[in-house]
A and B are shown apart, each in its own frame.
Chain A
Amino acid sequence: MLEQLLPNVFWPEIWQASLDTLNMLAGAMLFTVLLGLPLGVLLFLTGPRQLLEQPTVYRLLSFVVNLLRSVPFVILLILMIPFTELLVGTSLGVPGAIPPLVVGATPFFGRLVETALREVDRGIIEATQAMGATTRQIIFSALLPEARPGIIAAITVTAITLVSYTAMSGLIGGGGLGDLAVRYGYQRYQPDVMAVTVVLLLILVQILQSAGDRLVVHFSRK
């Protein structure tokens, strides 16, 4: 029955592509958070009227973030090839896809973190300062815990953006569901393969969004 409906679908290959997508997503997300969270905190702190106001640093960071965000991801993928080879030794497969994914998502995530931190009531920063907290203590004891729901929401949005980026990485031989959809579904005209990959991506996005929403609700005490 299933074979008649989806004659071209070769399940082991779908399975492998799904694993590749999940690996790319997990790897890229990990490094995006590791780099983007400090970036967001730095953007916030050096911003106008903030704790470590540094107009020059802020403008520079802002410029770089805007620059990276304005490059379309497909172009970033190609531009990144030499750098990726230098960094991980290959520009192909899952390892080759992660650096461009991280570079594409980090500025986006950093901005979202900055926004989440700006949502924290200034009075809370003032209260913590009045207790004699150091800047480091203010960040770790007040700002980040208070912004946690916002940061989780930022991770969710970034993860979903990364899912669509992984689909594009097929272009440089990155593998994954998107690659499968392009090679089989589009180039060999096998609409059944296309449909299966799209459904799987849809399910993935749904899972990410509802898990993120649940976590946001769980950590919101307001």
Chain B
Amino acid sequence: MIEFDRVHKAYLVNGRSIPALQPTNLSIEAGEVFGLIGHSGAGKSTLLRLINRLEEPSGGRILIDGEDVTALDQHGLRRFRQQVGMIFQHFNLLSSKTVAENVALPLKLAGELDRAAIAERVAELLERVGLAEQAGKYPAQLSGGQKQRVGIARALATRPKILLCDEATSALDPQTTASVLQLLAEINRELRLTIVLITHEMDVIRRVCDRVAVLDAGTIVEQGPVAQVFLHPQHPTTRRFVLESEHLDEDSLHADFEQVPGRILRLTFQGEATYAPLLGTVARETGVDYSILAGRIDRIKDTPYGQLTLALTGGDLDAALARFEAADVHLEVLR
């Protein structure tokens, strides 16, 4: 479990103190995938690096399983960092070393295993990330997705309890992103590893995270389970991220509203309700006509969900609303 207790960070630039992270309380449960989303400069990278003290906090305490890591001395800090894996946007592999040597590096630095044991562990890790064939190659000979897999294998080498992901998929194409995220989800499940990831893409959050915090100008403006934050965003920044991920923008959506008569509602289904034939049933029974203005059926991690924006005309409108209210869906009347 990772706890931030009034942690803040400011950088000294030309003698002036520039705040990067306002005093923040945050708690990340062991074994969960926690996402931090924010635009560049929102402080997410700082927040992530405070966890393994690549950035020193200006104040506050960071507790990992109850231990205050801000109080660790150099030796303690090194021991602690060996229990925290980290992967990076640009992979940060050593170009002068082979895939196997890169994965072996954290084990060599830790100095706890002999050569044979390291070789065995490296083989096991490369097998796990599907790169057993590439062991003797140099990073320059690999694709972006393969490089990130090497990064993941390297980060897992010392059997860490926490994995920090710094924009791990931002440099990858959509297909590779999907496979890397899938690998992260598998690792989280199989190794019961806590994953903290930062990203500027809501899609990444939606696919792998259990909970999410939204950062804006060094402050967490919203946090909660992904489904809640994603389907019912409260803060304007969160709303923008959600719309961006659906390739919509609020203005054009409202322009569409001008084109249709009747009431406009947004229905949100989750889980089993996604598959129920609710819309047709209600339309038939109450005689309303509907047109769909926007809609999406997808998954948040493993949970299916649907979100439809409808215009309703004719029939018994109040009865239809009552039927929707009664069903297992979330209803918002937009007009």
Residues of A within 8 A of B (CB): 121, 123-124, 126-134, 137, 141-142, 145-146, 148, 219, 221-222
Report if A145-B86 is in contact (Cβ < 8 Å); known contacts: A132-B78, A137-B109.
no
B16 smallest CB distance to A (angstroms): 17
Summarize A's interface: helix, strand, loop or mixed: helix
* Residue in chain B with minimal CB distance to A135: B74
Q: Return 28 A-B CB contacts under 8 Å, by A number.
A: A123-B88, A123-B92, A126-B92, A127-B86, A127-B92, A128-B105, A129-B54, A130-B54, A131-B105, A131-B106, A131-B109, A131-B110, A131-B158, A132-B77, A132-B80, A132-B81, A132-B110, A133-B78, A141-B108, A142-B94, A145-B96, A146-B94, A148-B96, A219-B96, A221-B96, A221-B138, A221-B139, A222-B140
Chain A residues lying within 8 Å of B105, measured Cβ to Cβ, are: 128, 131, 141
B95 touching A221, Cβ below 8 Å: yes
> Using an 8 Å CB-CB cutoff, how does the interface string of B144-177 with A read, 1 for contact, 0 for none?
0000000000000010000010000000000000
The 4 closest A-B pairs by CB, nearest first: A132-B81, A127-B92, A123-B92, A132-B78
A129 to B86, CA, bound (A): 10
Whether the Cβ atoms of A126 and B96 lie closer than 8 Å is no
Do B79 and A132 have beta carbons less than 8 Å apart? yes
Distance between A145 CB and nearest chain B CB, rounded to angstroms: 4
Q: Which residues of A contact B46 (CB under 8 A)?
A: none
Complex Cα distance, B108 from A142, in Å, reads 12
Is B301 among interface residues, defined by CB-CB distance under 8 A? Answer: no
Residues of A within 8 A of B81 (CB): 129-132
Q: List B81-104 residues whose CB lies under 8 Å from chain A.
A: 81-82, 84, 86, 88, 90, 92-97
Is B78's CB under 8 angstroms from A126's CB?
A: no
Q: Do A130 and B96 touch (CB < 8 A)?
A: no
Known contacts A123-B88, A123-B90, A127-B88; A132 and B95 CB within 8 A of each other: no
B307 interface residue (CB < 8 Å to A):
no
The residue on A at minimum CB distance from B82 is A132
- Contacting residues, chain A, for B95 (C-beta < 8 A): 146, 221-222
